[in-house]
Structure 1
Amino acid sequence: MKVEILHKTPKGFLIARGKREIKIGSVVIFKNKKIGKVVDIFGPVAKPYIKILPINKDIEVSGTAYIKNDKSKYKNTEKKN
């Protein structure tokens, strides 16, 4: 899922804007590199703001990033006897 990185906060977090399917704990990928994970979601439900904790506090990122949900909704779909 695509998100737009808006800016960096004074405390080093990244703020992005995305869609409602994003989950806390999801991995954020920028140019095929893991740059951080989602720690908070706030704002309107339809198009919330996303607070990202970067792996490296000195990172400078702008533009489009991608969110990879850690927990697949199909994870426990195996049929057990």
Structure 2
Amino acid sequence: MPYALFCNDAQISKAYPGESDVWKLAQRSGLVVDVSTDEQRPGPRRVLDNDYEIKPCQAAQGEDPAKNKADAEQESRMELQLSS
């Protein structure tokens, strides 16, 4: 099942094949923050800022989550090349 980024129950990203793909998108977008440890978990844990959530979703008609992932990875590589 595909996953997407949501804010206040509204889908705000394309659908991606896995939850980890959406975490990468959120990280690049500056939506992931580290919070201090609690007694049950060692080390910092990452959470989404404000009201953002990653949830399973249905891909829109004609949308290909695998292509969305490939496009995002290509865009990320291009950004790295430009910043070098």
TM-score computed with the length of structure 2 as normaliser: 0.27
Which structure has the highest helix share of the two? Answer: 2
TM-score computed with the length of structure 1 as normaliser: 0.27
Which structure has the highest strand share of the two? Answer: 1
